[in-house]
Amino acid sequence: MKSKRLNQLVDLIPRCDVLADVGCDHGYVGIEALLRNIAQRVLFVDVSEMSLKKARDNTPDDVRFRCKYICRDGLGELEADGAVIAGMGGLEIISILSNAKFLPQTLILQPNRNQKDVRKYLETRYTIDYDRMMYCGGIFYNMIVAVRTDHPVALNELELEFGKTNFVGYNKDFYLYLDKEQVKLKKILNDCNDPEVSAKLSLIERAIAVLGGSK
């Protein structure tokens, strides 16, 4: 795979019949899901014809008959049991899901921003099975897997802010994130007393305390 982030996305996809790779761009995630037989068929969806062409050109001939290339905004009326929506802002992801006629059974999401808003959207419709931070190429990514449920469970404040399964087991990337944020926010507060920064630091310190304080 082209990067640790893309590889991790593919690793998180459960076996499915139809996978939608929404905002597919190069198409690497959907293509790899086909090559590994995780998905039987893939709908490559992108709002940009130029991006979709990249996915089409990158698809190996021997899996092409299992692919559909669709130039459109979001899922609309498309039906898929799994959907990967990665590498775009959280508000765009929420808009795509809000406008979808059929919500996929499983979502694999990687919002670049507004992760908390995505979790708020998910917590009333999906069970979040996996929500962990990964550090790759100097950037922290939030990787989320959510499964549709009729019995959603609310997240607590720290889970909403940072991701539920970061608090399960040991995730060195999450520790690194908390450490870097704590140093950065303390430095800012040394220069000016900003209540928002202070509130954020308090959340970081609560997360560190929940994890046991040791790094």
Query: What are the residues binding ligand SAM (CB under 6 A)?
Result: 22-25, 45-48, 51, 73-74, 86-88, 92, 96
Q: How far apart are CA 55 and CA 64, in angstroms?
A: 11
- Residue among 96 and 158 whose Cβ is closer to ligand SAM: 96
Q: Rounded to the nearest whole angstrom, what is the least distance from the CB of residue 177 to ligand SAM in the complex?
A: 20
Q: Rounded to the nearest whole angstrom, what is the least distance from the CB of residue 213 to ligand SAM in the complex?
A: 34
**88, β-bridge pairs:** 111
Q: How far apart are CA 146 and CA 153, in angstroms?
A: 12
- Placement of tokens 């929420």 in the chain: 94
**142, β-bridge pairs:** 133
Q: Rounded to the nearest whole angstrom, what is the least distance from the CB of residue 169 to ligand SAM in the complex?
A: 25
Q: Tell me the CB-side half-sphere exposure of residue 117, using CA atoms within 13 A.
A: 13
- Residue among 51 and 165 whose Cβ is closer to ligand SAM: 51
Q: Rounded to the nearest whole angstrom, what is the least distance from the CB of residue 77 to ligand SAM in the complex?
A: 14
Q: Return all residues near 164 (Cβ < 8 A) that are at least 6 apart.
A: 128, 131, 155
- Residue among 45 and 160 whose Cβ is closer to ligand SAM: 45
- Residue among 47 and 147 whose Cβ is closer to ligand SAM: 47
Q: Rounded to the nearest whole angstrom, what is the least distance from the CB of residue 26 to ligand SAM in the complex?
A: 7
- Residue among 1 and 188 whose Cβ is closer to ligand SAM: 1
Neighbours of 152 (CB within 10 A): 15
